[in-house]
Chains A and B, each alone.
Chain A
Amino acid sequence: KQEVTQIPAALSVPEGENLVLNCSFTDSAIYNLQWFRQDPGKGLTSLLLIQSSQREQTSGRLNASLDKSSGRSTLYIAASQPGDSATYLCAVGTNDMRFGAGTRLTVKP
């Protein structure tokens, strides 16, 4: 059974810092890896999708990488802002995505 782990569970940084969130998974037979953010009491907002044949994707200040062989993905956030404060979730799989427990990020002004 696919197990997805996210480290750290929580992270607090001052505004402007660059940061890295980590996601690891146990079964490399995945089709997609998707990063989401979730604001309190809200649904999930898709940030980046990496298909299994890809190694990274970029959107604005976000960059996500995928290393299937080692079962790892990282989400890099450049020049963090208070508006980036949210819980970040990674999900892997085919159509039945399996989620990690998330990293709760706080960016302090």
Chain B
Amino acid sequence: GAGVSQSPSNKVTEKGKDVELRCDPISGHTALYWYRQSLGQGLEFLIYFQGNSAPDKSGLPSDRFSAERTGGSVSTLTIQRTQQEDSAVYLCASSPSSYNEQFFGPGTRLTVL
């Protein structure tokens, strides 16, 4: 079946602009996660959704980062006023339920010039 999909696959933006990254989880998966992977920091947890609620936002690095999930399905991660240190690969994962195996999408590579 279809896996987790993310769009766009690549995004180049100028410093100070806002960006939106999209994640489509595996159909029927109730839990959804955002991570980012950068050369200096490795893979970092950002936020977790169960349904449309985000019980754990502890990994969001600043208030410029926000995420929402609608209809228990698609999620968007928004970064406002992007900075060069936001450049990274943003990975989305989903799982059938909380505390379950996580399946990752291919990621969005964000470059902030």
For residue B113, CB closer than 8 A to chain A, the reply is no
Cβ distance A47 to chain B, nearest Cβ, rounded Å: 10
For residue B43, CB closer than 8 A to chain A, the reply is yes
Assess whether B106 is in contact with A96, with CB atoms less than 8 Å apart: no
Q: Could you write out 14 A-B pairs with CB less than 8 Å apart?
A: A36-B104, A43-B4, A44-B91, A44-B104, A45-B104, A46-B104, A94-B99, A95-B31, A96-B48, A96-B56, A97-B33, A97-B102, A99-B35, A99-B44
Please report which residues of chain A, range 58-75, place their CB below 8 angstroms from some CB of chain B when the two chains form the complex.
none
Assess whether B42 is in contact with A46, with CB atoms less than 8 Å apart: no
CB-defined interface of B20-56 with A at 8 Å, one 1/0 digit per residue? Answer: 0000000000010101000000111100101000011
For residue A32, CB closer than 8 A to chain B, the reply is yes
Q: In the complex the two chains form, what is the Cα distance from A49 to B103 in whole Å?
A: 11
With A95-B31, A95-B33, A95-B98 already in contact, the answer to whether A43 and B43 are too (CB < 8 A) is no
B contacts, CB < 8 Å to A: 4, 31, 33, 35, 42-45, 48, 50, 55-56, 58-59, 91, 93, 98-107
Assess whether B45 is in contact with A96, with CB atoms less than 8 Å apart: yes
Cβ distance B57 to chain A, nearest Cβ, rounded Å: 10
CB < 8 Å neighbour of B43 from A42, A45, A89, A95: A89
Known: A31-B99, A43-B106. 11 other contacts (CB 8 A): A32-B101, A43-B105, A45-B104, A89-B43, A95-B48, A95-B55, A95-B99, A96-B45, A97-B33, A99-B42, A99-B43
Residues of A within 8 A of B104 (CB): 36, 43-46
Q: In the complex the two chains form, what is the Cα distance from A52 to B56 in whole Å?
A: 21
* Interface majority SS (helix, strand, loop, mixed), chain A: strand
Residues of B within 8 A of A99 (CB): 35, 42-44
- Counting from the closest, the 8 A-B pairs by CB-CB distance are A99-B43, A44-B104, A49-B101, A43-B106, A96-B45, A43-B104, A95-B48, A31-B99
Assess whether B105 is in contact with A34, with CB atoms less than 8 Å apart: no
Q: In the complex the two chains form, what is the Cα distance from A97 to B4 in whole Å?
A: 18
Residue of A nearest to B31 (CB): A95
